[in-house]
Copies of this chain bind each other. A is one copy, B any other.
């Protein structure tokens, strides 16, 4: 299968009256930013447009939604176009799949290499650092008027999916597009502050408490921390806010394997496992009764924290030893 052209897709868009946008579950900056940019641009073209969601918007992305998102499937009864954005497979919008399939025309805009060409029109380009970059190109084809809010949504999409232009997917093009967005009037600093400088003090203090439990294993190749219910009670943080800890551990020089143990209930410990470069945590997770990808996996251990820590430590050490033998 091959891509339709953005011109073909723009042509279809110009012909219709209503468009419903479908970002993936576990909303991120690229999915929501891309949808917001499309939504405002389509509305400016006098299309009835909404972004249909099935989960909550993460707190640090709420600034993007000034009346574009809905959880109401009936907002557009009979959409001319349903467009899945930053995803293509129905399991990425499972609760909304029936609505998606009710669209007279179904279009996919995505940059994930695992996405299949299965809808009426598809534009899937894994070479693009962010779906937001494809959206930028599409809006150029549609000859939309440069707009600060649309530009900031595209900037949010690009800056999050490239890890602030640090990840290996970052391209010359990512910088060229961002440069052009300045002509649209974007305030990149205020967007960055919304996304990254909006950490609750409770979270900061909880993460600090967790880092006090840091244990380095096998000469620094493994790193482990844990978060207890008591830490949450002491600090007023919630468990979701332990999110960034595994990335913090991975950023330590020499660390190949990182584990964060989160006590959801007394004997219910969710474990996030991360590998930096050579390691494979999916195997470690499997041995602990879980699963996942090579670089990011997890499991749940139904034991008290101290026992869970011991189990994970042992498996990390085993994993490091196996890596050393290779």
Contact = CB atoms under 8 A, between A and B. Distances in A.
A179 B181 CA distance: 14
Given A176-B179, A200-B253, A276-B197, A188 B166 contact: yes
A4 B255 CA distance: 47
A40 to B, nearest CB: 22
A205 interface: yes
A161 to B, nearest CB: 14
6 contacts: A163-B192, A167-B192, A175-B175, A197-B276, A201-B252, A204-B252
A111 interface: no
A216 B189 contact: no
Interface of A: 159, 163-168, 170-173, 175-176, 178-179, 182-183, 188-190, 192-193, 196-201, 204-205, 208, 211-212, 214, 216, 220, 223, 248, 250-255, 276-277
A281 to B, nearest CB: 15
Given A175-B179, A208-B211, A251 B196 contact: yes
A199 B211 CA distance: 14
A189 B175 contact: no
A272 B195 CA distance: 23
Contact of A165 (B178, B205, B214): B178
Contacts of A253: 197-201
Contacts of A182: 171-172, 175
A165 B165 CA distance: 8
Contacts of A163: 192
Contacts of A277: 189-190, 193
A201 B220 contact: yes
Q: 4 closest A-B pairs (Cβ-Cβ)?
A: A172-B182, A166-B192, A164-B164, A168-B189
Of A182, A223, A276, the most chain B CB neighbours within 10 A belong to A182
Contacts of A173: 179
